[in-house]
Structure 1
Amino acid sequence: MENQILLNDIVNAIENGELQAYYQPQYNAKKGVVGGAEALVRWIKSDGTIVLPKDFIPILEENGQLSVVDWFIAEEACKTIKLLKSRAVRISVNFGREHAHDSQFIEKLDKLVETYGIDKSLLGVEITESDVATDKQDVIEWVNKIVAAGYAVSIDDFGSGMSSLSFVKDVPATILKIDRSFLADNCQTERGKMTLESVFYFAHRLHLLTVVEGVETESQLQFINTCDCDYIQGFIFSKPLEKSDFIRMCIEEAPVEIGTMEPFEEGAVFEQVKILIDSVYKKFQLIKFANISKNSYTFMRYEDFMNTTIPETGSYDDCLRRIVDATVPESQKDILNAFNRKSLLEAYKNGERRVMRIVYQRDENNELHKVAIEDYFMESERNNDVYVVSFIQNLDFEDGTYV
């Protein structure tokens, strides 16, 4: 009976305007401008009493009655997006796992965005790890349908549970919201920094946008930015705002100034590695990994005049043949003799660290290019195969520049 009374109270609160949507901005971590928001529910009674979400959301969720609140907040978000017009940003709404069993969920979302005439890319859906842990397969299928329908899906509170990696691996989300628990040490300990850097590396490899929740200090902000974070959500920029204040912020507020951390002085390994890789990419237009014992290769970097003639992966022998074909006739024999697998294995056996040649090659337009080809030998702890990392650099500049 108590639970039913609460549900009736919630419905009455909606009708009386006591239930409200608040918006916590998500700031673009590079530009300092609002790039999104999370819609949150607030229950403010007519006498001014505030009922905290933790005092009514769990009860509604336990009884499968939270959808009333979810859809109310979703509609409020659509109204706000419409009011923002050209200044609209994506607003994400929390939807509990009970919606995974609603066969008309996508239809309801579509009807909302059509009613308010907004772009569906501006209305996001947030789910939590606990949703998947409880009803994994149904939720995964549900998320697949949401993404296929054109809506962005955020994984909320990443890192707050024990199966987070598996959760992200299986759910086709587009945004990863990193839980505030990763900031508990204020980004001051080496262990904490390394853990957070690993989370960002994981997210980037999966091509996920990142949002960090609960950012409150300058130290946290500066370190997070060395990890190439996309959006910041936290009190350092803004607490959750009522609709009028949020709209005013999106329309009128100037970009905030974001301080930067010196990556080479603060132990920001992620940023240091990123700068290193960027510099290597600038120097070498083509980088190739090859297992010459197994006759295979794959490209890591692939911006060269030969990139239209060589597949990104395949057999090493075939790749070498294509490189030889692009080389001027007088150098073809030298390239073939130096870089065939038998010669490379012999050079490795003799203790050489690299094999290098500078030759001329022609592109598909028959234009001549001076090119340096360098193969460095690498070993693996897992097997006895011989690996090489190939760096191919275009030397089309004045003589004497490259020494």
Structure 2
Amino acid sequence: MEKKYLLNDIVAAMESGELQAYYQPQYNAKQGVIGGAEALVRWVKKDGTVVLPKDFIPILEEAGQLSLVDWFVVEDACKTIKQLGDRAVRISVNFGREHAGDGQFIEKLNRLVESYGIDKYYLGVEITESDVAADKEKVMNWVHDIEQAGYMVSIDDFGSGMSSMSFVKDVPARILKIDRSFLNDNCLTEKGKITLESVFYFAHRLNLITVVEGVETQEQLQFINTCDCDYIQGFIFSEPVPKGDFITMCVDEAPVEIKTTDPFDDQSAVFEQVRILIESVYKKFPVIKFANLSKNSYTFMRRENFLNSAIPETGTYDDCLRSVVDMTVPESKDEIEKAFNRKSLLDAYAAGKKRVLRIANQIDEHGNVHKVAIEDYFMENPRSKDVYIVSFLQSLDFEDGTYV
């Protein structure tokens, strides 16, 4: 079949309604409910034959006509969001980099959203890693404009190319869709697990929502859940389905059962174990501070009590101690200053001590007195001769005898 004839055939399919939007649900990885979807296109012929995108999208791309399909799909997504009403979930639509040169792109999106009376929150825009890599500056400016207009952008196929880490930090996207290539070894090899854990760590550090594509087996699902994934997209839950089926799934279906493993029974589930450990430390210590005594500097890792409004997040250690002393009751000021000034701590470190601990009463901004334990642990850095401490502040505002 000649390409020109095929292109005409595709256009005719759009006009006759053979070209349809399909939806692949994205399930909340912890609750088993549909929390989003990706809108895809399928060519459903009159005899029921389904033609996949790989068999006709390249023809449209070569002819420069792909945007016709993109706008067709996004309009159908808007209709679907409208039909779902209060059961609506975010539906993302793929847009190629050719749209980055369309000065009316945001205006077109806004018109569609306004015409169907839906919230921008529910319409997402997906771009592929390869599109960003191919025309980085132009695409990044486009993505910035989309985010500024109030739409959420996803980076699709993360990990399928070679420039992943370098561009994700610069692209103002809020969702990272992790490519199925990370699941090729079925999450069974140690190397594969460590690689996937690293991707999730990277994503969480950047405060990105994570979606894993191509999940098909229980082994993949269980390991991905130890990595604290947000959403699962794959045949293990659902293949792409017609709009009517998708609406029924969102409205009528019960949550799917997600079998989880005990992270402490699986010694390879390092990410989940570390996450649980950090959460437990946060629950016990409302204030955690790192300090370089040699360079007279500090930064807070956590501060969730009255110190939050009294002491800057980072600065010189001496200034931080001065603020802590100022908040201490008069009868304990000298003791706290003598124990935790930099010279005293450096002397204690030189003497071989592992920590310095004091209990004191401190006064918050409302005049309330709190009993706290201030505990400094000396830490070593193999790449530096500087002296470091990690400081923990624990509230002791509980009845006497709690620890007896």
TM-score band, normalised by the shorter chain?
A: over 0.9
Q: Say yes or no: does 1:277 pair with 2:278.
A: yes
1:250 and 2:243 aligned: no
1:220 alignment partner in structure 2: 220
Equivalent-residue separation in structure 2 for 1:139 and 1:4 (angstroms): 30
Q: Is the 8 A contact 1:7 1:65 kept in 2?
A: no
Q: How far apart are the structure 1 equivalents of 2:2 and 2:388?
A: 68
Alpha-carbon shift at residue 2 of structure 1 (Å): 4.2
Code of the residue aligned with 2:271 in structure 1: it is F
Q: State the one-letter code of the partner of 1:111.
A: R
Deviation of 1:330 after TM superposition, in Å, equals 1.7
Match of 2:115 in 1: 115
- Quote the residue 2:317 is aligned against: 316
- 2:70 corresponds in structure 1 to 70
- In the other structure, the counterpart of 2:338 is 337
Residue 293 (structure 1) aligns with: 294
Structure 1 vs Structure 2: percent identity of aligned residues? 76
Q: Who is 1:126 aligned against?
A: 126
- Report what 1:146 is aligned to: 146
Q: Which string of whole-angstrom CA distances, capped at 9 and with x for unpartnered residues, describes residues 37-93 of structure 1?
A: 001110122233332211211232233221011111111111111111111111111
Amino acid at match of 1:353: K
Hey, what's the Cα distance between the residues in 2 that align with 1:319 and 1:392? 14
SS at match of 1:155: strand
Residues 3, 60 of structure 1: 8 Å contact kept: no
Distance (whole Å) between structure 1 residues aligned to residue 2 and residue 296 of structure 2: 70
Do the aligned partners of 2:7 and 2:59 also contact (CA within 8 Å) in 1? Answer: no
For residues 242 and 24 of structure 1, the distance between their equivalents in structure 2, rounded to whole angstroms, comes to 9
Instruction: Within 5 Å, give how 1:45-84 maps onto structure 2.
Output: 45-84=45-84
Cα distance in 1 for residues equivalent to 2:366 and 2:22: 60
Give, in whole Å, the separation in 2 of the partners of 1:243 and 1:200: 31
Deviations 1:194-221 (A, max 9, x none): 1111111111111111111011111111
Residue 179 (str. 1) matches residue 179 (str. 2)? yes
- Name 2:234's counterpart in structure 1: 234
TM-score w.r.t. length of structure 1: 0.97
Contact 2:359 / 2:373 at 8 angstroms: preserved in 1?
yes
Per-residue CA deviation, residues 220-252 of structure 1 (Å, 9 max, x unaligned), is: 111111111111101111111001111111111
Matching residue of 2:390 = 389
Q: Secondary structure at the match of 1:307?
A: helix
SS in 2 for 1:330: helix
Conserved? CA contact 2:27–2:232, under 8 Å: yes
**Which segment drifts farther, 393-402 or 211-220?**
393-402
Once residues 52 and 251 of structure 2 are traced to their aligned partners in structure 1, the CA distance between those partners, rounded to angstroms, is: 29
* 1:115 partner SS: helix
Question: Secondary structure, in 3 states, of the residue corresponding to 2:399?
Answer: coil
Q: What amino acid is the match of 2:247?
A: I
The amino acid across from 1:229 in the alignment is C
Match of 2:32 in 1: 32
Q: Which amino acid aligns with 2:33?
A: V
Q: Hey, what does 1:369 align to over in structure 2?
A: 370
Q: Which runs of 5+ in 1 are unaligned?
A: none
Structure 2: distance between partners of 1:131 and 1:5 = 28
**Mapping of 1:84-103 within 5 angstroms?**
84-103=84-103
TM-score (norm 2): 0.97
Q: Across the two proteins, how many residue pairs are aligned to each other?
A: 403
